[in-house]
Amino acid sequence: MKWRELVDNRRPPKTFGSRKRRYQARACTGKANFARFNLFRDVDRCYGDGMAGRAPAAFHLSGVGRAFGERDALREVALRVEPGERVAIIGPSGAGKSTLLALLNTSLRPTAGAISILGQDPGALSPSRLRSLRSRIGTVYQQYLLVPQCTVLQNVVAGRLGRLSLWQAAAALVRPSETERVAEVLAGVGLATRIYDRVDRLSGGEQQRVAIARVLYQDPEVILADEPLSSLDPARAADVLSLLMRAGARRTLVVSTHQLGPVLPHFPRVVGLRNGRVVFDKAREAVTDADLAHTYGGSDGELATTGMTLRTGTQPTTLLETPTGTA
């Protein structure tokens, strides 16, 4: 099988330099590069020790603010995310998590401060360069944002529209070789048999998987996920989370959530947002009850009533333990 050969013979670039050139070439031609396509990217070899320092930060925000009319959704946000990092952004509803993610995927522009994404300032780019930057950032939206009347196949293929022309994308729906590639991605998220089903016939959890498959097919360097678990029951949430972790394992991954329990064990770094400000930005092990209380407002007693407390007595909670099984 041709696609198998491609997968098995893939040869990841040895240095970050070649990787960078590759993306520049891609940005210039805008052509599809399916030969390099792989599902769960092996970035370890790209982001080897010592490389992270020299590579541009995935995201670099300094003094960033975003106002909607009179209301400030974000104020004075400073954040630096290195390539390959996994960051969880937590905070109550209305804290500005979604706004922050929208800034990171360039669908919003900051009204104050400077932002640099993968080494580029999105505000200074020409439309076509902005598009090629965007094609390197994948987003899983809270509302999935799939086209309900279309098949799973078409929705997944659409993820790659940043690099495929309209006709290449249309051809991808007909050519068996491309269809097989999509099937491969869908098998990775457990939806291999639903490739020709219409999205509006799928359950919410399945639609979430399609949204993840779309991002995987896009093959970005960075994956952003906005409240990926918000509308799923606990069992589905665990499934989707492990899927997301696998997809983001070798990429930069930024997830916003307010479900701390299942999410935090997977993220070495946690950023707390409240009222549009960064309250804390720490390694997971260093996060204290006080931090969470501050983020979610009120006292520890209030936290306890909402079931969000970290520790009972002096015992460390599972919340802050390092993951053992999953990941």
Partner 1 sequence: MSANARALPPPAPWWLRWPGAAVVAAGAISYRVCEGDLAQLTSARARDAVAGFVGGFWPPAHSTEFLSSLVRPALETLGIAYAGMTLALFVAAPLSFLAASPRVFVTGGDQPTRLHMALHHGVRALLSFMRAIPELLWALLFVRAAGLGAMPGVLAVGIAYAGVVGKVFAEIYESVPRGPAVALATAGATPVRAFAFGVFPQAMPLMTSYTLYRLDCAVRASAVLGLVGAGGLGQQADVALRMFQYDETATIMLVLFGLVAALDGVSFLVRRRLERSRGLFPHGRVALRNRCLAVVGGTAAFGATLQALDAPLWEMLLPSSVTHVAEFAAGMLPPDLGELGKVGTALVETLAISVFGTLLAAALAMALAYPASRKLFLQELGDEAAKRFMVRWQLRRVVHSVARGVLNLGRTVPETLWALLLIFAVGLGPFAGALALALHTAGVLGRLYAEALEEVDLGPARAMMNTGVRPGLAVLAAVLPQAFTQLIAFTLYRWEVNVRASAVLGLVGGGGLGAQLHVALGLFQYPQAMTLILGLLVLVLAVEQLSARLRRALGSGGQGPRAAVAAW
Residues near partner 1 (CB under 8 A): 105-109, 127, 131-139, 141, 143, 145-151, 153-154, 157-159, 161-163, 165-166, 169-170, 173-174, 179, 196, 198, 215, 218, 220
What angle is formed at CA 184 by the lines to CA 179 and CA 185, rounded to 5 degrees?
100
Q: Shortest Cβ distance from residue 84 to partner 1 (Å)?
A: 21
Identify which of residues 135 and 257 has a Cβ nearer to partner 1 in the complex.
135
Question: Which CB atom, from 66 or from 86, has the smaller least distance to partner 1?
Answer: 66
| CA–CA separation, 109 and 263 (whole Å) | 28
Nearer to partner 1, 62 or 111 (CB): 111
Between 87 and 146, CB nearer to partner 1:
146
Contact 260, 308 (CB under 8 A): yes
Closest CA relative to residue 255, chosen from 87, 143, 91: 87
Indicate the DSSP class of residue 67.
E
Report in angstroms how near the CB of residue 151 gets to partner 1 at its nearest: 5
Q: How far is the CB of 308 from partner 1 (least distance, A)?
A: 30
**Are 132 and 162 in contact, with CB atoms under 8 Å apart?**
yes
**Phi first, then psi: what are they for 98, rounded to 5°?**
-65, -40
CB of 321 to partner 1, least distance (A): 35
Closer residue to partner 1, CB minimum distance, 212 or 310: 212
Residue 65 and residue 74 in contact, taking contact as beta carbons nearer than 8 Å:
yes
- Shortest distance (Å) from residue 230 CB to partner 1: 15
User: In this structure, are residues 281 and 271 in contact, taking their beta carbons and an 8 Å threshold?
Assistant: yes
Min dist. Cβ of residue 30 to partner 1 (A): 9
Whole-angstrom Cα distance, residue 95 to residue 215?
Answer: 26
Angstrom distance (rounded) from CA 245 to CA 239: 10
- Beta carbons within 8 Å of 298's beta carbon, 6+ residues apart: none
As measured in angstroms, the least distance from the Cβ of 289 to partner 1 is 36
Shortest distance in whole angstroms from residue 133 CB to partner 1: 7
> Helix (H, G, I), strand (E, B), or coil: what is residue 300?
helix
**C-beta closer to partner 1: residue 222 or 310:** 222
| Separation CA 246–CA 40 (nearest Å) | 7
By beta-carbon proximity to partner 1, the closer residue of 228 and 272 is 228
- Residues in CB range of 59: below 8 A, 6 or more apart: 79, 80, 81, 104, 115, 116, 117, 118, 222, 254
Nearer to partner 1 among residue 217 and residue 296 (C-beta): 217
Contact at 8 Å (CB) between 288 and 79?
A: no
Smallest separation (angstroms) from partner 1 to the CB of 176: 8
| CB closer to partner 1 out of 64 and 264 | 64
